[in-house]
Amino acid sequence: MDDVLLGVALVEEATKKSGLVWVRGDGPARALWHAWLDGAAHVVGDGPGEQPLPGLADGAVAEVTVRSKDKGGRLVAWTASVTELAPRSEEWLAAVAELKGKRLNAPDGEAMTDRWARECRVLRLTPRDTLTDLPDGSLAAPPLPSPATTRQPVPAALPRLLFKRGRKKRG
């Protein structure tokens, strides 16, 4: 019994402190930002401008791997029951209140929660009674396809504009 309580405490504390968890449902693992509330991790996504949640369906089981916020290494892995929260339900409102504070760079500010209700899914990942063994090896894999982009080539005129600013006019 003490091992079970220790496992529950480890999952909760590690997941609360980590800003990012790796979640694998029916498909490859994805890094997801989350909020911990009432004994479960909550994620929002599958809408325009939000994180994708492929393979995570209501009633499914997912494997969650928690990383260290400081070093980025794996701390603990656990199995979760996935529950989709009904928009604007009491549970949904509580989860969204926590998630809203963790969402960085939202394009619509306070209107974000209305957009989440219309266009996104909020999922509750509840730990089951099993901790899983951490895998051996790095688990490195090529990046998954994403609409996000990285740096584009520097426009040809930019260096001239930047160097022109540094010169002082003599007169």
CATH fold, domain 2-134, is Pnp Oxidase; Chain A (2.30.110)
**Best-predicted range by mean pLDDT (50-59, 87-96, 142-151):** 87-96
Q: Residues 54-90: pLDDT tens digits?
A: 899 999 999 999 988 888 788 899 999 999 999 999 9
Predicted pLDDT of residue 57: 93
- Whole-angstrom Cα distance, residue 122 to residue 96? 8
Predicted pLDDT of residue 171: 55
3-state secondary structure of 37: strand
Torsion of CA 130, 131, 137, 142, to 10 degrees: 70
> Is the pLDDT assigned to residue 167 strictly greater than 60?
no
The pTM score is 0.78
Sequence spans of domains, the chain: 2-134
- Whole-angstrom Cα distance, residue 48 to residue 115? 9
Q: How far is CA 96 from CA 30, 32, 122, 124, 169, in A?
A: 21, 15, 8, 11, 55
